[in-house]
Amino acid sequence: MANIRQLSSGNWNVQVRTKGQKPVSKTFPTQAAAQAWVDGQEALRKAEEASQGNALPTVRDLGYAYAEARLSGHQGYGKCRMIADQLAQVFPVTIDQLTPRMVNDFKLARLKQVKPETCRAQLAFLSRFYRYAQRELLLEVTNPVASIVMPPASKPSDKVVSREELDALLGALKPTMAIIVELAYETAMRRSEIIKLTHSCIHLEERIVDVIDGKTGTRNVPLTKRAVELLELAATRCQGKALPSERIFKVKPHSASNAVKRAREKLGLPDTVRIHQLRHTRITQVAKKGLNNAQIMVVSGHRDPRSVARYTHLNARDVLHLID
C-alpha cells in the first residue's frame, strides 16, 4: 500500500508498506512523478508475481514494469511509459491474449493516422516488452510482434543548418531557449542531455561537461570557447546560491523543441531546422576539420562508427583540402 503526501518543502513523499518487507520511502519534486513511481512499482510487483505462477500482467503493466526495470533514470523512461499507455488503450488485455493478427490490424490502422516512424516505435517497444517478459521474467508467452513486417524506418535528414539560419533562430527565441539551442549547435549534445545538466556537471576551467545517463551512457563532452561562454551566462542567470545537484535549465525537453518550432515557423525557415538537426550540423563541422572517427565519436557520444556516418553529412567539396 502506497501513501503519498506533500512535505513542507513542496516536494512529495511516497511511503510503500508491504507485508513482510521493510517500508520504502522516496521523495519526488512533483505529485505526478511520485504517482508514476508508485504505478511503476505496482507493475513490477505484478510482473514478479506472474513469474511465480500468478495471473499474467496486462500490456500496460508489462510496459510499466519494463520501464522501471530497464529504463529508470534514463531519457527513454517517459517515452516508454507513454507508449505503454497508448498501446493499453488499443489492447486492454493480458499479454497472453494479444495475437499477431491484432497487432497487424493495429499497424495498418495506425499507418493511416501517423508517420511510419511513429508506428514503428510503438511496435518496437511492444516487442521489447515481450522480450523482457520472456527473457527476464521467464514467462511462457509468444511475442506477437515477431512475425510482423515493421514499417520502414525514416530516412535521416541530411540538412546542415547554416550560420544565417541559426542566427535568425536565436534572435527569435527567449534568452534561456536561445542558450539551449546554441549549446546544441556548439556541443552536439542532445536536447535532453543539455536540459539535464546540473552545476556539478560543469567544469569550465577544463572545458568539459559531464553527461550523466545519456542515451549512450555517461560521458564527457569537450566544450568550444563559445560553449564555455554560454554556460557561464546560464550559470549567472540562476538566482541565489545554486546547489550542485540543481539543474541549470528549468525547462522541459519538449518546451525547447516547441520554442524552436514556433520560431522557425515565424521566420519561414524550412521544417528541417530543428534542435536535433543542430547536433547533425556540429558533427558534420567536426568531420570537416579532418578528425578521425574515434575523435568524432568523443564529440558525438556515439559508440558505433555506423551511427557517425548517419550524422556526418559531407560532400566532395568538404574533403578537397584534405586530399592534397
Identify the CATH assignment for 163-323 out of 1.10.443.10, 1.20.1440.230, 3.40.50.2000, 1.10.1040.10: 1.10.443.10
Domain ranges in the chain with CATH number 1.10.443.10: 163-323
Instruction: List, in sequence order, the alpha helices (H) in 111-251.
Output: 116-135, 163-171, 175-187, 191-195, 225-236
Residue 32 has pLDDT above 80, yes or no: yes
Residue 61 has pLDDT above 80, yes or no: yes
pLDDT tens for residues 229-273? 999 998 887 655 567 778 889 888 888 999 999 999 999 999 889
What kind and span of H or E run contains 4? Answer: strand 2-6
- Contact at 8 Å (CB) between 5 and 12? yes
For residue 81 the three cell numbers come to 511509459
Q: What is the pLDDT of residue 59?
A: 95
Q: What is the pLDDT of residue 53?
A: 80
- Contact at 8 Å (CB) between 110 and 140? no
Mean of the per-residue pLDDT values of the chain? 87
Residue 17 has pLDDT above 80, yes or no: no
Interatomic CA distance for residues 314 and 274, integer angstroms: 19
In order of 32, 95, 145, 147, the CA distances from 142 in angstroms are 33, 9, 9, 10
This prediction has a pTM of 0.65
Of the ranges 213-217, 275-279, 287-291, which one carries the lowest mean pLDDT score? Answer: 213-217
- Contact at 8 Å (CB) between 255 and 238? no
Residue 5 has pLDDT above 60, yes or no: yes
- Contact at 8 Å (CB) between 276 and 311? no
Interatomic CA distance for residues 301 and 211, integer angstroms: 10
Interatomic CA distance for residues 120 and 13, integer angstroms: 37
